[in-house]
Structure formats: structure tokens, C-alpha cells
Amino acid sequence: MSIQVKELTHIYSEGLPYESRALDSVSFDVSNGEFMGIIGHTGSGKSTLIQHLNGLLKPKSGSIVINGIDITKAGVPMRDIRKKVGLVFQYPEYQLFEENVYKDVSFGPQNLGLSEEEVDKCVREAIALVGLDFTEIAERSPFDLSGGQKRRVAIAGVISMKPEVLILDEPTAGIDPKTHKDILSMICGIHKTQGNIIILVSHNMSDIANYCDKVLVLDNGKVLMHGTPHEVFAKKEILEQTGLDVPPSVELLYKLNERGFSVNTNIFNADETSNEIATVLARK
């Protein structure tokens, strides 16, 4: 599985007074098994971009080639593409609708035309992957669950279809720190188990630095940067000019340098930062 996006442009309200170019010649690629983060200030085009990746929006121009198929061309069966590309919107729990968890999670596999046995297997695997107990939760109403459980169930409904690409738009928005950490760990578990491409949209720079192989930075609908977390977060001044922050651990290292401590600022996760600070302090 691979994704190649080339010169993608999208215009809202084209020809009207409020015309807006949401995407402007966006190009990037994602390879099989990669975990890519997308960052950018509000209005930079993140949500518009990911809605193109499973055909919810059509571009003004450009192409999106998923596993060799250009999904922007006329006649491409989008049902087949959406089997492969799963999209979890922000606050996905608002999309729960069935009378119990089992029915909610089974909705996708049933619509793929799977047998009853295959659907049951997909549902059980998905519920386990999101860290919930099938026996305890399957017959419960999704509306009686906690916020974190609802979000897990909503994500289970997408991964039950075993997408080869899983796109998550701010999956930790509006939840407490412990649930935030649990949801990210769960996503990593899904990635490890299913070996799929993960695309994570987030405003949390620490999450992007700690979990992603690649980072795509959008600014006013254009690609500002595209590279590894080390390559992107090394350009602190450029990020700050576009209203973005570096991870707090990086900011701490810069502050230490300003105070006279000679530390390596080319470090982007908490464990590496702790080790670097410990090493520097040991030399004092």
C-alpha cells in the first residue's frame, strides 16, 4: 500500500465572493507501514486534505494515487477505496448510533458483504484492539459508556473493516491526560498489529514527535515542510513564524542553552531529552 499526492488543489466557493483556496499544489507520499503526522495552524488545510484521501472531497486539480489507482479519475468505485482507507473524524463518538456496541462496530463489516462469521470475527478483533473487553461491553448501549470508551468504540467501528490506511483527525481532542495517553498507545498497538499506514492529524507536537516517522507541515494550504520529526522540528524559527510550537521537550532544551548549559537541541522526545539533561548535569 502506498499513497502519492501530486499537485492537489481544492477551492471552496469557486467563482463566488468568498472563494477560498484551501489546498494549493500539495504534493507528498506515504509508503507502506509508515506513521505520518500532519500539523498546521487552524485553517491550514489539514481537514480538507484528509477528506480527499478517501474521496469525500474532489479536488479542483491534481491526483491522489492509492496503491496504483488514481482516485480522482472519473469512474473509480469509491466503495472499494473506502474499504482500504478508513477515516476517523474528530469526536467520532458523536457518530455512534446503534442500540448496542456490537451492532455499532459490526455496521462497517456488514456493509462490506462479509458472512456472519466473518463479521463476528472482525468485531471481536476490533474491540480487543481498542482495549475493551468484548464480554463486558458488546451488549451495552454505546450511549451509556464513558467518553473514553465511546471514542474507543467509534474507532473500533472503523478498524473492524481492516483498512490498509487509517486516518485520524485529532483523536485525542477534548479528553483527559490519562485517556489521551491510552488512546495514543491504542493507536500504536493497532499500527503494530495491522501493519497499516497511519495518518495522524494533531495539534500536539509531542505526540507527533514521539510516534510519527514522517511529518507534513501545512501553511495556508501549501506544504511548508515534509520530512522526519528531526528534520521538521529542527526548524524551530520557521515553525514559530507559522504559529506552531516545537514539542515542550525541545523548548526546554533551548531554554537550557540560553542559561549556559551546552545541550543538544536536536532531540524530540521525552526519553531522549531526559537522558541528555542527565548527561549534561553529570558533567557539572
pLDDT digits (tens, 9 = 90+) for 143-175: 999 989 999 999 999 999 999 999 999 999 988
Q: What is the pLDDT of residues 96-145, one digit of tens each?
A: 999 999 999 999 999 888 999 999 999 999 999 999 999 999 999 999 99
* Residue 284, pLDDT score: 62
Confidence of residue 47 (pLDDT cuts 50, 70, 90): very high
Say yes or no: domain 32-58+75-229 is CATH 3.40.50.300: yes
Whether the pTM exceeds 0.85: the reply is yes
Query: What secondary structure does DSSP assign to the chain, as a single string?
Result: --EEEEEEEEEETTTSTT-EEEEEEEEEEE-TT-EEEEE--TTSSHHHHHHHTTTSS--SEEEEEETTEETTSTT--HHHHHHHEEEE-SSGGGG--SSSHHHHHHHHHHHTT--HHHHHHHHHHHHHHTT--HHHHTTS-GGGS-HHHHHHHHHHHHHTT--SEEEEESTTTT--HHHHHHHHHHHHHHHHHH--EEEEE-S-HHHHHHH-SEEEEEETTEEEEEE-HHHHHT-HHHHHHTT----HHHHHHHHHHHTT--------SHHHHHHHHHHHHHH-
